[in-house]
Each structure stands twice: as C-alpha cells, then as structure tokens.
Structure 1
Amino acid sequence: MDQSGEIRHTIDWDIIEITPFEESQIDAPVNLMDEETMFAFVGLTLEKHNDSVEGMNFGPIVDEIMDISVDDHIPNEENVFHDMDDPPMDVGTIYANMNDFRRAVKQHAIKTKFELGTEKSNPNLFRGYCKAESCP
C-alpha cells in the first residue's frame, strides 16, 4: 500500500511463462460464436419478428379515453398560409417569416414579369424595388 492508500500489485515478469505457438496454430482460422450462441452468452434471446408484433396493441387512439387534451395553438402566433405560386402583395399582408416573404416577393416578380432589385437585405430587413424605368 502506498501513501495514498491504494494497493499496488507488482508483476514479477521473470516468473511469467510465454507458451509459443505451434506451427499448426499460425494462420489457423479462429472459431467464433454464431449469432445464437453470442446472444445466449450475453444473456439475450432472439425474438421472432411475428412474436414481437403480436404482443403490440395497434388499436386506434380515441380522444374520449385520453386524459389530457392537446392544443397546439401558440398564443400570439399567426397561422398564415398563402398560395406561394401566386402570393398576395397587398399592403398589410403578413408572412410567417422572412424566408417566406422573400420567396413570395421573388415569385411575385416572376409572375408579374418585373425585374426585382434589392436595396438592403439582412435576416430582419428586406428592401426591394422594381428595376425597370416604367415602374411607379
């Protein structure tokens, strides 16, 4: 035992005997366990697929037997859905996020055939304009 209280064992390397391999053991195939033996060795059992499926209950979930009602509505969050093939570009139109708004502006420019220019753009701001001279 050392000063820290740990027991230390010393190995006397002089008394260890190393048995050399015989010529027939070199490059000989090693017999490994098959899958069933390995499962039994580690304490597991193989289950047939049909056995595990039969024990499951696939009955329908009925709202009347549920203990807690679930409402996915988040307060103060707008649920806004637009036709992104022909998005509305009216004053006061609300989009769910900046990416949806940018996508709608680009689609609107394609649909109405005008050239869109971007004056400023960052994650919270998008300022665009019509590049053509005939734009109002």
Structure 2
Amino acid sequence: MEEKVYNESNNALDTLSNIWESTLTLLRAITEASSNSLRAEPDLMQLQKLRKDLDALLEKLKGQATWLQDNKDKVGRKEGENELNPELNQALEEQRALRQESIQLSDQLKQLLSQSYALQFQMDMLLASCHDQALVKNA
C-alpha cells in the first residue's frame, strides 16, 4: 500500500507540473489574443480548448489529492506503531518554531518597511513645503 501511495504522489506531482505548463500555455494564448485583438479576431475556440484542458487537469489533481488525503495515514506506519519517530517529532517541533520565528521576523520587516515609506513620504512633504516656502518669500 505504501508503494501505491508513493506512486500516486508522484502522479499527482506530474499532474501539477502539467497544470503549470497548461496554465502558462493558456496565459501565453490569452496575452497573444489580447495583443492581437485590435488587428485580428481572437481564436476563441482555441482559448476555450486550452481552458477545458486546464480544468480537466485541475479535476484530475483534485481527485488525486482527495485519494492521497484519504490514504496518507497508511504510509510510514508499521503494525501497532501509532507514534512518530522521536527524532521526527523533534524535527517537526523545530520546524514549527523556525516557521513561527520566520513569521515574526517577516512581520517586523514589513513594519520597518512601512515606517520607511512613511518617513520618506514625510520627507517629501517637508521638501515640498520648503520649496513652497521659498516661492512664497520670493513672490
């Protein structure tokens, strides 16, 4: 059963890759149709075909994901083994801690960037005010 889950996972990854390629093809076709729309009539049938192909791939991936979700518990467990490896637990806990720290640092960076933009705006306003002040004195 484990091998089947791994094979289905690989198939799902292949499908995801195909979705990526199909999406890029559809975006290129839409971009081309849009840029040529003033010169020629877009090929709507081709665009609809590309969209249907993409939808079919998305449905296939959805089915594969559902199957994997239903069968994920059957992987990595041996008879009577209900607990994960202690080393894996430690690694998962470390990953959670690092992810939390990453989120905090990202939030702090966003806040600093926001303050930087606000300061830049205030400096621009101050410079504009000084320039206006000089114009008023010269008038």
TM class, shorter-length: under 0.3
Using CA pairs under 8 Å that are at least 6 residues apart, name the structure with larger relative contact order, 1 or 2.
Answer: 2
Higher fraction of strand: 1
Larger radius of gyration: 1
TM norm structure 2: 0.19
Higher fraction of helix: 2
